[in-house]
Amino acid sequence: MALDQIWKQQLTLVTYGNEFLAGNLNFSRWIEHPIFNQNRLIFRDLRSQHLLAQHFQIWLEGLKKQGVKKLSLHLSSILNDEQNPNINVELLPFSHFIVSHQANKKTAWICGLELAAWYNSDNEFEAPLSQRTTLREESFWRYELNDKFAKKVDADLQKLNWNEIAVFLERELFNHKYTEDFLEPEQQDFPFYGYEIDPTAISSKQLALIPTDYPADCAHRLLHRTQALTDYLEEKRRHPYHDSGELMSPEEQINLRNFSQKTDDLFAKLIVKIANHYQTAQLTAEPEIIDRTMETSEHFNQVHHHKVGTAGVIKLIILTVIICMVAYYFGL
C-alpha cells in the first residue's frame, strides 16, 4: 500500500520549520506553500485533547517561545509498543511522526483522529455531499516521549553517507527485474515540489518540499525517482500483465506485491533521512582511479636515476684511486 500523502506536509513542516526555528527563514517566504493548499493542520494535546494551535504558524511560533530548537521526522514503527493514553483519539497508521526537541526533552506529534463519543459505528460517518468540505483536516497530537525512545530518535540524526544510500537504493530498487520497464522521471533534475506544476513555467519563487537554499540535489533526485517507482509499481499491481498481454501468474503477483511493499518501506526510510539531513544531501566525488602505467613509469625513472647515480660514484672512486697511484709513483 502506497504511503499516505501526508508525508509531504510532514516533511515540509520539518525542513522549513527547522529553518524558521534557526532564524534563517521568515514565514512570509513560505506561509503560502502550495503543499498546504486544501489542507488544514491543527495541533492538540493527546492527554487533555486541548487545542494548542489552529495553524502551523501558531504551532511553530509557540514551539520557538518554549525553547524548541529542532524538529525531526521518524518512522511510526518506533512507537509500536507504546500504549495510546487516550481512548477518545484514534492514532492513525501513517508512516511518520514529528518530534520536537527542547533541551533533553523530546515530544512526539502524531497524526490522529478525535472520536465522537455518540457515534459507535465501525464505519466512518459520511455527511451528504453538499455538506462535505474539500479541505483535508489533519490533527497532530502532542505526546511527550520518555527516555527509552531517545536512542531511537537520536539514531536517525547521526551523520549519513549519501553515496552509500544512493548505491544501496540503486541496487535494491532500480536494478530489479520488476523495474526493467520503469521510465526515469523527466523532472528528476528539478527540485522535488510534491504537487502539480507546469514544467515550462517554473520560477525561482516556486517552493519545493526542501528549502532550495541548500544544494540537496541527491535528495531531490531520489525523491523524484522513488516516488515515480512507487507509482509505477502501484499501477503494475492494478494491471498485472506482461508486455505480451499475458496475465502474471499468482506467484509473480505475490512477488510483485512484496517488492512493492519493500519499495514503500525503503521510501519511508528515505523520507526520514532527507527530512533530518537535507542540508548535506549531496553526493561526494568518487576517488580518482590511479593510473598504474604512469606510476610504473615514474618508478622506473626513479630506479634508473638511482642506477645512473651509483655508476657515477663508482667511476669517481676508480678515478681517485688512479690519481693516488700516479701521485705515489711520482713521489707526490
Instruction: Please give the helix or strand (H or E) that residue 169 lies within, else none.
Output: helix 162-169
Exposed e or buried b for every residue in 214-223, given b needs 16+ CB within 10 A? eebebbbbbb
What span, in angstroms and rounded, lies between the C-alpha atoms of 12 and 32?
Answer: 12
pLDDT at 322 over 80: no
- Across-strand partners of 101? 70, 106
Rounded distance, CA 181 to CA 262, Å? Answer: 18
| The three three-digit cell numbers of residue 103, written as one number | 533541551
Closest among 37, 53, 48 to 140, alpha carbons compared: 53
pLDDT digits (tens, 9 = 90+) for 73-117: 999 999 998 999 999 999 999 999 999 999 989 999 999 999 999
What's residue 317's pLDDT?
A: 52
Q: Let me know if 43 is exposed, middle or buried by CB neighbors in 10 A (0-12, 13-18, 19+).
A: buried
Give the pLDDT of residue 145: 95
Q: What is the mean pLDDT of residues 249-269?
A: 96
Report the alpha-carbon distance of residue 14 to residue 58 in Å, rounded.
15
Q: 7 burial class (0-12, 13-18, 19+ CB within 10 angstroms)?
A: buried
Q: Say whether pLDDT at 315 is over 70.
A: no
Whole-model pTM? 0.84
Quick one: pLDDT band at residue 318, thresholds 50, 70, 90? low
- Tell me the backbone φ, ψ of residue 68, rounded to 5 degrees: -70, 130
Give the C-alpha distances (Å, rounded to integers) separating 318 from 189, 210, 304, 331: 72, 78, 22, 20
Q: Which of 131, 138, 152, 69 is nearest to 109 (CA)?
A: 138
Nearest to 8 by CA among 280, 277, 267: 267
Largest CA distance in the chain: 131
pLDDT of residue 308: 39
CA distance 230 to 269: 14
- Structure confidence at residue 320 as a pLDDT band (50, 70, 90): low
Residue 266, all three cell numbers: 525503503
According to the model, what pLDDT value does residue 123 have? 86
Q: Are 172 and 266 in contact (CB under 8 A)?
A: yes
Q: pLDDT tens digits for 210-249?
A: 999 888 999 999 999 999 999 999 999 999 988 888 999 9
- The residue whose grid cell reads 527563514 is 25
Kind and range of the H or E element at 298? helix 292-329
